[in-house]
Amino acid sequence: MKVNQAEFIISAVRPNQYPVDALPELALAGRSNVGKSSLINRMINRKNLARTSSKPGKTQQLNYYRINNDLYFVDLPGYGYAQVSKTEREKWGKFIEEYLLGREFLKLVLLIIDLRHPPSKDDEAMYSWLKHNGVPVCIVTTKADKIPKGKWQKHAKIIKEALGADKSDPFIMFSSELGLGKDELWSVIEQRIGYGREEGEESREIGEASVVEPDSGDQEE
């Protein structure tokens, strides 16, 4: 998808603030500071449309970004931040659960995990919850540029095994710095929302073909 227009629409804190134009929605879920905002900026070729923050837990709303009048990226509150009160975490959790289970325009959740580290217990719980509830998910591992290319496969295997990842779920290695995985992720998104197909045409399944593997070139230190 060629991005010609991207704009921030709203920070929604309750359902009656969600957009009503019925565009497909792609939600980004992950730990605080895992790189969700940087991923959005790389995907739309903008430096700071999605604001990055050095303060984990800053995002406490559903931040909607409209792309080309074709879809929304919806940045969910980061989870796993200890300094947020238990009451606030429970409040966010209920809000996010209602969105993920009840939002009819949600087409796919991008579960964002740092490639450098094994999934946290929160990452594992989120993936298990999404699978249990039948919510379509794509695993995206960020910050691939922070480790040598020759170690990507090892780290990817650790993440897949820890999550108990379903082989039918796309798994994409991503780097906001290098642009690695950008085209592959757009391909997964386009396929999921039916972009470029005639209305009513049956959707194809997203399978293992969507997995992005590193090339066989020399290691990068």
| pLDDT score at 40 | 96
Q: Which residues contact 8 (CB under 8 A, 6 or more apart)?
A: 49, 50, 63, 64, 65
Mean pLDDT of the 117-128 span: 96
Domains of the chain: 6-193+204-210 (3.40.50.300)
pLDDT band at 17 (very low <50, low <70, confident <90, very high): very high
| pLDDT score at 216 | 36
| pLDDT score at 15 | 94
Tell me the Cα Rg of the chain.
17
| pLDDT score at 33 | 87
Side chain identity at 114, as an amino acid letter?
D
Quick check: 48 pLDDT over 90? no
Quick check: 91 pLDDT over 80? no
Residue whose token pair is 């020759």: 150
| pLDDT score at 53 | 53
Residue 186 main-chain phi, psi, to 5 deg: -60, -40
Residue 106 main-chain phi, psi, to 5 deg: -75, 120
